[in-house]
Amino acid sequence: MKRTVLLCLVCLSCLLLPALARRPQRALPAPDWVANPSQLSQDNQYIVQGAVASSREQAEETARNNLIAVFRGSLSPDLDYRINRSQALMNSMVLKPENRERIITLRLRNEESLHGIYFTHYWTESPRRIHAVAQMNRSDASLRFQEQINQIQTRVMALLYKAVHTEDAWQRYCLFNSASCLDAHLQQVCQELAVIDPTGRNALRLDYDSEVLETQLREYSRQVRMNIVCESDSLSEGIAPPLQVMASLGFSNTSGSDLVFLYNITREQIETRRKSEYIYNYSFNLKSPVHSNLIQFLGSMRFVLPKGSTPGETEILQLRRDIEDNLLRLIMENCDTISLTP
């Protein structure tokens, strides 16, 4: 009898244990900071932002980006490009396609050190929902931002000093152009500092006026006179983006100038059984009796169209943009190269 009862109890246990194991356990309540991370900041001494993601690393990255967005907002493509140029200049480099990744890496490292963001709280809601909190100490960050502003301002002042002591119009324009790029970066840092430290106690009075700098840049660009020469047929004249680029920068097209800009655009057509292929080749050459060849570039674009078709407005627009982008990039590269020359 006892043996029968014991066997029944064992069988009953085998039936009940899996059922008990399947019962959902009561989840632990979420910490208060999950719904309101800002409560972790005492007397507003910190900027605090939280995030949730499927992994700890992703939660940290999202929380960091959320925090940076508090004082930075969004950067326009032009400002982002100018900050990359400024970062290169601060490291005695010129932003070029071949070293762009390296400069962006330097910028990310610089900003990581500048911001000083760290992570303080984590909570695992479920295996695929991890919460993280990022913090920035306002006071400590303000001091680092102030140091960054001083470093950029020192470089700007050095370029302005060189510019007013040169008689070469192109060199003077290049120095002011690079200084303007650095100033755009500096102004962005100042705006971010104003959010990080709204008390203004760490605000700096600059040794120059940004509006005056931009006015002088426009004035010195008008003093750059170059003889713009098309070396090819009406194809170049019909597209003619170099003329528009130079005019947008304020340069004047003056025949007989020592500064000579030569450009050439040619088209090659290749016919196959089913397609028509067009290859546009173009070249730039900016020459100066003082600096020799300032800019030299060869570029091309290829369009493959249905048999019998010719490049239309869409293709010509792509070609124009490619020429304009490369020409502007080369001019900025030359400006920064001259600015880094002792």
> Minimum mean pLDDT among 27-31, 109-113, 169-173: which range?
27-31
pLDDT for the residue 26: 45
In this structure, the chain runs to a length of 342
Q: What is the rounded average pLDDT for all residues in the chain?
A: 89
In this structure, the dihedral spanned by the alpha carbons of residues 233, 239, 243 and 248, taken in order and rounded to 10 degrees, is 180
Q: Are 260 and 290 in contact (CB under 8 A)?
A: no
pLDDT for the residue 324: 93
Distances (CA, A) of 92 to 32, 80, 112, 183, 301: 48, 18, 20, 16, 32
Task: Please classify residue 127 by burial: count the beta carbons closer than 10 Å to its beta carbon, then call 0-12 exposed, 13-18 middle and 19+ buried.
Answer: exposed
Alpha helices in 116-225 (DSSP H): 138-164, 169-196, 210-222
Q: pLDDT per residue over 54-68, tens digit each?
A: 999 999 999 999 999
> Minimum mean pLDDT among 13-22, 35-44, 131-140: which range?
13-22
pLDDT(113) > 60? yes
* CA nearest neighbour of 41 among 33, 51, 53: 33
Highest mean pLDDT: which range of 132-146, 196-210, 276-290:
132-146
pLDDT for the residue 22: 47
pLDDT for the residue 171: 95
pLDDT for the residue 25: 45
Q: pLDDT per residue over 186-238, tens digit each?
A: 999 999 999 999 887 666 788 999 999 999 999 999 999 999 988 876 555 55
Distances (CA, A) of 310 to 237, 282, 303, 313: 18, 18, 9, 10
pLDDT for the residue 325: 95
Percent of the chain past pLDDT 90, that is, above it, reads 70
Q: Which domains does the chain have, with CATH numbers?
A: 225-340 (3.30.160.150)
pLDDT(27) > 70? no
pLDDT for the residue 209: 95
Q: pLDDT per residue over 155-188, tens digit each?
A: 999 999 999 999 999 999 999 999 999 999 999 9
Q: pLDDT per residue over 84-94, tens digit each?
A: 999 999 999 99
b/e sequence 187-210, b meaning 16+ C-beta within 10 Å: ebbbebbeebbeeeebeeebeeee
pLDDT for the residue 261: 93
- Under the banding of pLDDT at 50, 70 and 90, the label for residue 144 is very high
pLDDT for the residue 234: 52
